């Protein structure tokens, strides 16, 4: 009987960690999968002697994946300039609703993948984002992070500190998940009943709604701010919602909604809720970002 290759087992066990890392760094499951695939391709392109000379394969994989993510993030700003409308991170469903071909491709859902958190991450510089995620979320040392971003450990500490301030400044007061779910449920019911007064009562006066169609489906191209303006926009677009069924789902670890048409998910809605009010609504309609929701 052939003895198991402990090195290969260790390498493959890192896959889920790398997917989780890359998704948090990039906000895109598709790009995260591409980065992890390229990371493994580089590992297997080495000779066995070269592989054996690496003391910690897991650390090597993380370093390569981190550098690849840094490259993707650095080019993302240029690519965003040609993106049609607003760009929203790719939403991921709860693992019970999402069954990728490889279970190691599942993203662990926690507060570090909430839509609000990912949006704040997207406002950071690439180096800030990498330093913060590697240190504060995955607990890598600044010495290890320095090897990824190509800066000194002290500089990486400053990057993480700057990123931490961004997160703290943007953080809304914590709302229990059970209460979030109730607000989202009330919003769903009010929208289905076209109860304008109830909807106004659920939205913060300065609430913001942002849609992402990527130029592939019709949607509002710019953020809509103010509860009354949001409801006016929804009223103008009401004909597009006919035939849609709203379902309560977990979106990036938080209570959210999906809209289905003929059983196919066509929109995913994430919410930021504070002080019993909906502060932000993110509507992802770009079909390329909904593949995890539409795959059978």
DSSP at 133: I
Burial class (CB in 10 A: 0-12, 13-18, 19+), 49: exposed
Any long-range contacts for 116-123 (C-beta under 8 Å, 24+ apart)? Answer: 116/170, 116/172, 116/272, 116/280, 117/167, 118/24, 118/27, 118/89, 118/252, 119/88, 119/89, 119/282, 120/166, 120/167, 120/170, 121/24, 121/27, 121/163, 122/27, 122/87, 122/89, 123/166, 123/170
Alpha-carbon gap, residue 116 to 62, rounded angstroms = 25
What pLDDT was estimated at residue 145? 97
pTM for the model: 0.90
Quote the strand ranges of 68-144, DSSP E. none
Residues 22-63: tens digit of each pLDDT: 999 999 999 999 999 999 999 999 999 999 999 998 899 999
Residues 252-281: tens digit of each pLDDT: 999 999 999 999 999 999 999 999 999 999
In this predicted structure, the answer to whether residue 3 has a pLDDT above a threshold of 60 is: no
DSSP at 134: I
Average pLDDT, the chain: 90
What pLDDT was estimated at residue 11? 62
What's the length of the chain? 296
Residues 179-208: tens digit of each pLDDT: 999 999 999 999 999 999 999 999 999 999
β-pair partners for 274: 277
Residues 232-246: tens digit of each pLDDT: 998 887 777 778 899
Residues 154-184: tens digit of each pLDDT: 999 999 999 999 999 988 788 899 999 999 9
Q: Which two tokens stand for residue 9?
A: 């087992």
In this predicted structure, the answer to whether residue 293 has a pLDDT above a threshold of 90 is: yes
User: pLDDT band at 110, cuts 50/70/90?
Assistant: confident
User: pLDDT band at 10, cuts 50/70/90?
Assistant: low
């Amino acid at each position: 009987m052939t003895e198991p290759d402990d090195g290969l087992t260790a390498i493959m066990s890192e896959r889920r960690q790398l997917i989780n890392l890359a998704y948090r760094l990039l906000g895109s499951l598709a790009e995260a999968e591409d980065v992890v695939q390229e990371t493994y391709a580089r590992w297997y392109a080495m000779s066995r002697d070269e592989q054996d000379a690496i003391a910690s394969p897991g650390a090597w994989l993380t370093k390569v994946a981190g550098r690849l993510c840094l490259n993707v993030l650095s080019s993302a700003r240029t690519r965003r300039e040609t993106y049609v409308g607003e760009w929203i991170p790719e939403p991921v469903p709860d693992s019970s609703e999402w069954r990728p071909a490889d279970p190691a491709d599942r993203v662990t859902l926690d507060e570090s993948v909430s839509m609000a958190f990912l949006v704040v991450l997207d406002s950071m510089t690439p180096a800030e984002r990498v330093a913060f995620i590697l240190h504060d979320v995955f607990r890598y040392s600044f010495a290890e992070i320095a090897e990824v971003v190509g800066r000194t450990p002290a500089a990486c500490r400053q990057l993480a500190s700057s990123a931490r301030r961004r997160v703290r400044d943007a953080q809304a007061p914590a709302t229990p998940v059970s209460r979030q779910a109730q607000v989202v449920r009330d919003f769903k019911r009010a929208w289905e009943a076209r109860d304008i007064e109830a909807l106004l009562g659920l939205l913060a006066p300065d609430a913001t709604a942002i849609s992402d169609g990527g130029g592939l489906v019709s949607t509002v191209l710019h953020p809509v701010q103010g509860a009354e303006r949001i409801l006016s926009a929804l009223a103008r677009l009401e004909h597009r919602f006919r035939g849609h069924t709203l379902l309560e789902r977990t979106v990036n670890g938080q209570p959210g909604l999906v809209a289905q048409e003929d059983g196919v998910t066509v929109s995913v809605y994430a919410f930021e809720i504070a002080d019993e009010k909906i502060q932000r609504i993110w509507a992802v309609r770009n079909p390329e970002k909904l593949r995890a929701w539409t795959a059978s």
